Amino acid sequence: MDIEIRPAKPTEYAVIGEITAQAYLLDDLLTFGESDWYLGELRDVAKRAAAAEVVVALLGGEPIGTVTYVPAGGPMANLARPGEAEIRMLAVSRAARGRGAGEALVRACIDRARAADDCTGMVLSTQQIMHAAHRIYERLGFTRAPARDWDPIQGVEFTLLTYELTL
């Protein structure tokens, strides 16, 4: 079966939120585990869909992955500069990994950015241990931008790596 990529529907938000939350939890990506404040953000798909585009990957009609595409100037951007779109919260369910959903989701974001008149680049943050995601980003032309690495939590040693892509 082929993976279908399209904008998420509100009826899929709960499933997509849980896919995202479980991906972060099972991969030990949340500093405070089940009590991490960010877990609520990962599950709140409606909130991010109101401010950005939530994209879903489906296999056999069932959601298996998701990413949030923040257009240039979008309110959900963490580190995008003027003219840059941002990718956030890429997640693929463990059962569906290795089938190309993650790469297809990132490609969909790149396509959206290239189609936008005001977009000249893309940026994203990633954790140091997200090696599979780093391979996807690098394969698609993103490069590390160490000068843009940042710490999202004040007082906690937790640096996010930055990748960028010029369109």
Structural domains in the chain, sorted by start: 3-166 (3.40.630.30)
Which pLDDT band holds residue 55 (cuts at 50, 70, 90)?
Answer: very high
Whether residue 91 has pLDDT greater than 90: yes
Q: Which of 10, 77, 91, 85 is nearest to 49 (CA)?
A: 10
Provide CB contacts within 8 A for 63, sequence distance 6+: 8, 12, 15, 16, 19, 56, 57
What is the band of 156 on the pLDDT scale with cuts at 50, 70, 90? low
Q: Which residues have C-beta within 8 Å of that of residue 3, sequence separation ≥ 6?
A: 57, 58, 59, 64, 99, 100, 101, 104
pLDDT at 143 over 70: yes
**What whole-number percentage of the chain has pLDDT above 70?**
96
Are β-strands 84-92 and 62-70 bridged in parallel, bridged antiparallel, or unpaired?
A: antiparallel
SS3 label, residue 91:
strand
The pTM for the full model equals: 0.93
pLDDT of 137 over the 80 cut = yes
* CA–CA dist 25, 17 (Å, integer): 12
User: For position 56, what pLDDT does the model report?
Assistant: 98
Query: What per-residue confidence (pLDDT) applies to 18?
Result: 96
* Residue showing tokens 């979008």: 74
- What is the pLDDT at residue 157? 64
The answer to whether residue 155 scores a pLDDT higher than 90 is no
What pLDDT is stored for residue 37 in this prediction?
A: 81
pLDDT(89) > 70: yes
Question: Is the predicted pLDDT of residue 20 greater than 90, yes or no?
Answer: yes
104: tokens are 């297809």
> How many other C-beta atoms lie within 10 A of the C-beta of residue 44?
15
